[in-house]
């Protein structure tokens, strides 16, 4: 029974898209017969090998259900009870996870305002202080996002500078990689160039936003910087009993180039959308379009006039700023039809 209109399209989130056919097929192929539960299956073993090929031989992979679970579980494994996390004010862990880092992991977040969603060593220093002061939660980890919540990208050198600085202060580095594939495709480099080789210690690897049904993973790049993930994943309700179906999705994405094809397509559609509306009077881009997101301020009334046809969110309603996200299944026709609506609404 199909309860939705498959012809309805939108730019609200890459979570709105469906599942890539190859991923659905991988789930079907993993079905049938019996396999060991809780990660003792051949698909999870294969996934660990595949991701070591991307991130290095020390990488350890822990599949989980969702991004919030990945971030919270990863960060708790990296910190003592008195530890705190330095992050951008716009970070997903600070804005969009319902307080889960605080409620589930007991972590203090020191959030720093940034105009582009990116941290720098200098910005980190505004909160990386008070070491040894028993009255202050100890800033012992930095969390960055790639690509950021504002659609911007860190270069490998920028991440290396952050990691070197954080490590010099005795801090570890976590990377939220919900859109890691979009970043790699946009930068034209492999994952290791801006993770393992840049000094990231632990990362959250996204799959859901890039064509999976519901599959993410915590990847430990430096096992010396975290502890207890085997137990924390269970206590955080992120241990799948039938893990083969989570792992099979990620194998389908990352054992080959499907991750890259999906991400590069989404990025290209965002570039097409930006170009299609760039000359419309009153349209003002609030961030560079570096991955698969377009951040733009629209003329008064335009957003509401076209929202009935295409899904999308306000980012800052008071500033008339909206966010448009493109997905692996966004088509050129989607982009062109949406841009035409924006143009007509702006003209009227």
DSSP labels, 311-341:
B-EEEEGGGTEEEEE--TT--HHHHHHHHHH
Tally the C-alpha atoms within 13 A of residue 251's C-alpha that lie toward its C-beta.
Answer: 21
Residues 146 and 249 in one domain: yes
Residues 96 and 153 in one domain: yes
Rounded CA-CA distance 184/197 in Å is 14
Residues 201 and 69 in one domain: yes
Residues 42 and 151 in one domain: yes
**Residue at 178 is within a domain:** yes
> Which residue range forms the structural domain that includes residue 237?
21-254
**Residue at 11 is within a domain:** no
**Residue at 6 is within a domain:** no
The residue from 234, 254, 274 where one domain ends is 254
CA distances from 25 to 2, 29, 245, 253 (A): 19, 6, 11, 12
The residue from 219, 254, 289 where one domain ends is 254
Contact 220, 70 (CB under 8 A): no
Residues 164 and 313 in one domain: no
N residues, the chain? 348
Residues of the chain with pLDDT under 70: none
Contact 205, 175 (CB under 8 A): no
Residues 151 and 213 in one domain: yes
Rounded CA-CA distance 260/264 in Å is 6
Domain count, the chain: 2
User: Rounded to two decimals, what is the model's pTM?
Assistant: 0.97
Residues 44 and 192 in one domain: yes
**Residue at 155 is within a domain:** yes
Residues 138 and 285 in one domain: no
CATH code of the domain containing 268: 3.90.1150.10
Residues 179 and 324 in one domain: no
Residues 266 and 153 in one domain: no
**Residue at 4 is within a domain:** no
CATH code of the domain containing 116: 3.40.640.10
**Residue at 125 is within a domain:** yes
The residue from 226, 254, 282 where one domain ends is 254
Residues 247 and 263 in one domain: no
Of 5, 15, 7, 92, the residue nearest 326 (C-alpha): 15
**Residue at 280 is within a domain:** yes
Q: Which residue has the tokens 């698969």?
A: 292
**Residue at 5 is within a domain:** no
Residues 219 and 161 in one domain: yes
Write down the pLDDT at residue 348.
Answer: 84
């Amino acid at each position: 029974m199909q309860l939705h209109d498959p012809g309805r399209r939108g730019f609200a989130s890459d979570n709105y898209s469906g599942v890539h056919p190859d991923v659905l097929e991988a789930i079907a192929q993993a079905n049938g017969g019996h396999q060991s539960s809780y990660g003792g299956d051949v698909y999870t073993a294969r996934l660990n090998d595949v991701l070591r090929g991307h991130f290095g031989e020390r990488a350890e992979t822990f599949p989980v259900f969702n991004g919030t679970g990945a971030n919270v579980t990863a960060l708790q494994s990296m910190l003592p009870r008195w530890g705190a996390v330095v992050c951008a004010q716009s970070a997903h862990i600070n804005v969009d996870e319902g307080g889960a880092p605080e409620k589930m992991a007991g972590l203090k977040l020191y959030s720093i305002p940034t105009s582009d969603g990116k941290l720098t060593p200098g910005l980190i220093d505004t909160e990386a202080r008070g070491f040894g002061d028993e009255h202050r939660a100890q800033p012992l980890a930095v969390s960055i996002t790639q690509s950021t919540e504002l659609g911007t990208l860190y270069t490998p050198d920028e991440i290396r500078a952050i990691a070197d600085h954080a490590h010099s202060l005795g801090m570890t580095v976590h990377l939220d990689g919900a859109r890691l594939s979009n970043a790699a495709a946009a930068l034209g480099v492999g994952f290791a160039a801006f993770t393992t080789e840049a000094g990231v210690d632990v990362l959250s690897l996204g799959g859901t936003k890039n064509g999976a049904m519901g599959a993410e993973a915590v990847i430990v790049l430096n096992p010396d910087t975290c502890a207890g993930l085997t137990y924390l994943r269970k206590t955080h309700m992120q241990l799948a009993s039938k893990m083969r179906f989570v792992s099979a999705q990620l194998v389908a994405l990352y054992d080959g180039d499907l991750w890259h094809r999906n991400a590069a397509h989404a990025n290209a559609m965002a570039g097409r959308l930006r170009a299609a509306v760039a000359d419309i009077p009153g349209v003002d881009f609030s961030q560079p379009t570096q991955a698969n997101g377009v951040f733009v301020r629209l003329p008064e009334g335009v957003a509401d006039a076209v929202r009935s046809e295409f899904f999308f969110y306000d980012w800052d309603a008071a500033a008339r700023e909206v966010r448009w996200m493109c997905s692996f299944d966004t088509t050129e026709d989607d982009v062109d039809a949406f841009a035409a609506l924006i143009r007509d609404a702006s003209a009227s």
